[in-house]
């Protein structure tokens, strides 16, 4: 996010404006210079159909009260093949990628206040729905959680520590998702998030360089440093593995994953299917998207190697939850669904059955 430009500033700012125009058309609510909020698919499902996301089931997050947010919407140090988000450098050779300029570093208090306001704007139209539960609508206008995960790499925002504090000060729980490329930032957080996620796909350096396309080959080592640091956190930690059939579901991948995760010792492991949507459809095939039964089978094998328990699953989101705990003991809210409840439907009744709505 904060590298020297390899092109003229004029070209960079022009590209930045063009990128924001595209994001606005995709219903991103841009905040200041580098942040954004976008209504999550499951906010709508919760308000309109009374159906909640897998994080509600696993951790008690109230889907309709969750802000989907990023403080670094166009800045990331990986160019992953499975990423479905808009990236202004898609289609350009790796050595000519443009580093977008950052006009200014916005104040955390401003970002947090605007994130809450923009979330309220995204749900304001539901007031007109006669079928909407009025209590849930009012709750949605009073968000309780923020997923710092929308797009980009959050640890590239230099005031992340203060940002987390400002959300906590307003009574929101924070769920920070990172690719683990900046362990020094995470190590020096004075204010830990409510829950920390590290999202990965590659199980060795060779596959990391090929699949995740980092801006520097040293980022594999940085990612491993982050994973090995997880036991030092006081907050619950999660490693989220995205499964891609042609890439990381073979027996050798399983063996190497187990070795990595034994060092990381996360509180939870989420094993989730790749979703064939958005920009990723130009780089991967639909056959790369595993069925829930395949995710479950692979997760069970991983659990056996690690000594973890399979504690829950969500078929609509094609995700399986593993933990050393017998059950997800942590509940951050009070949604009408728990880790042991049956799913609302099958794997085609959620975002995998409605991919155009999930982007």
pLDDT confidence bin for 212, thresholds 50/70/90: very high
Rg, the chain, Cα only? 19
CA angle 129–59–272, rounded 5-degree value: 90
Find the range with the poorest average confidence among 91-105, 186-200, 258-272: 91-105
Answer yes or no: is pLDDT of 88 > 80: no
Kindly indicate the confidence band of residue 1, based on its pLDDT and cuts at 50, 70 and 90: very low
Q: Is 230 exposed, middle or buried (0-12, 13-18, 19+ CB in 10 A)?
A: buried
Q: Is the pLDDT of residue 9 over 60?
A: no
pLDDT at 257 over 50: yes
**Residue list, annotated binding site:** 40, 53, 66, 76, 80, 83
pLDDT at 96 over 60: no
Q: Which has the closest alpha carbon to 185: 225, 137, 126, 215?
A: 225
Long-range pairs for 355-358: beta carbons < 8 A, 24 or more residues apart: 355/275, 355/276, 355/277, 356/277, 357/41, 357/44, 358/41, 358/275, 358/277
Sign of CA dihedral 75, 79, 163, 137: positive
Average pLDDT over residues 231-245: 98
Ordered by start, the domain boundaries in the chain are 9-358
Confidence at 3, pLDDT banded by 50, 70, 90: very low
3-state SS class at 271 = strand
Mean of the per-residue pLDDT values for the chain? Answer: 90
Confidence at residue 5, expressed as pLDDT on a 0 to 100 scale: 38
Exposure string over 99-114, b if 16+ CB within 10 A, otherwise e: bbbbeeebebeebbeb
Give the pLDDT of residue 16. 82
Average pLDDT of the residues in 183-211: 97
Structure tokens at 69: 């947010």
Residue 336's pLDDT band (cuts 50, 70, 90): confident
| Higher-confidence position of 340 and 258 | 258
* 76-90, 262-276, 343-357: least confidently modelled range: 343-357
pLDDT surpasses 80 at 186: yes
Handedness of CA 13, 283, 177, 209 (dihedral sign): negative
**Which letter, b or e, does each residue of 242-269 get, where b requires 16 or more Cβ atoms within 10 Å of its Cβ?**
bbbbebbbeeebbebbbebbeebebbbb
Average pLDDT over residues 273-298: 93
Looking at residue 342, its pLDDT comes to: 73
Q: Which residues pair with 36 in a beta bridge?
A: 30, 70
Give the pairing type, strands 268-273 and 319-323: antiparallel
Say which range, 162-176, 200-214, 218-232, 325-339, has the weakest mean pLDDT: 325-339
Which of the pair, 85 or 290, is modelled with greater confidence?
290
User: Mean pLDDT throughout 57-70?
Assistant: 96
Given the DSSP bridges, would you call strands 145-148 and 195-200 parallel, antiparallel or unpaired?
Answer: unpaired
pLDDT band at residue 8, thresholds of 50, 70 and 90?
A: very low
pTM value? 0.91
Q: Which residues pair with 271 in a beta bridge?
A: 241, 320
> Which of the four pLDDT bands, split at 50, 70 and 90, describes residue 359?
low
Within a 13 Å sphere around the CA of 9, how many CA atoms are in the beta-carbon half? 3
- Is it the case that residue 188 has pLDDT exceeding 50? yes
Neighbours of 97 (CB within 10 A): 17
15 SS3 class: helix
Annotated binding-site members for [4Fe-4S] cluster: 40, 53, 66, 76, 80, 83
pLDDT at 199: 98
Domain 9-358 has CATH 3.20.20.70: yes
Per-residue model confidence (pLDDT) at position 4: 39
Q: What is the pLDDT of residue 350?
A: 65
């Amino acid at each position: 996010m904060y590298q020297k430009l390899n092109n003229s500033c004029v070209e960079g700012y022009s590209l930045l404006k063009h990128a924001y125009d595209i994001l606005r058309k995709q219903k991103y609510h841009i905040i200041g210079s580098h942040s954004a909020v976008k209504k999550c698919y499951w906010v709508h499902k919760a308000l309109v159909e009374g159906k909640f996301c897998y994080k509600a089931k696993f951790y008690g997050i109230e889907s309709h009260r969750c802000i989907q947010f990023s403080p670094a919407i166009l800045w990331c140090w990986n160019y992953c093949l499975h990423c479905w988000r808009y990236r202004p450098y898609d289609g350009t050779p790796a050595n000519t990628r443009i580093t977008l300029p950052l006009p200014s570093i916005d104040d955390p208090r401003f970002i947090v206040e605007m994130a809450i306001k923009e979330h309220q704007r995204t749900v304001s139209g539901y007031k007109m729905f006669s079928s909407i539960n009025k209590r849930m609508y009012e709750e949605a206008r009073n968000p309780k959680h923020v997923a710092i995960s929308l797009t980009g790499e959050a640890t590239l925002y230099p005031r992340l520590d203060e940002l987390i504090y400002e959300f906590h000060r307003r009574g929101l729980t924070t769920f920070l998702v990172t690719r683990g490329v900046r362990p020094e930032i995470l190590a020096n957080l004075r204010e830990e998030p409510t829950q920390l996620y590290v999202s990965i796909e590659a199980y060795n350096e060779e596959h990391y360089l090929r699949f995740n396309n980092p801006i520097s080959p040293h980022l594999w080592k940085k990612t491993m440093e982050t994973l090995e640091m997880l036991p030092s956190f006081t907050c619950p930690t999660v490693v989220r593995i995205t499964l891609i059939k042609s890439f990381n579901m073979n027996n050798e991948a399983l063996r190497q994953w187990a070795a990595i995760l034994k060092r990381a010792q996360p509180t939870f492991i989420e094993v989730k299917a790749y979703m064939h949507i958005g920009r990723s459809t130009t780089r991967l095939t639909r056959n790369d998207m595993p069925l829930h039964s395949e995710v479950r089978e692979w997760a069970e094998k991983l659990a056996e190697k690690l000594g973890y328990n399979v504690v829950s699953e969500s078929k609509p989101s094609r995700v399986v939850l593993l933990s050393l705990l017998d059950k997800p003991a942590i509940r951050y809210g009070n949604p009408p669904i728990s880790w042991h409840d049956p799913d609302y439907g099958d794997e085609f009744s959620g975002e995998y059955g409605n991919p155009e709505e999930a982007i």
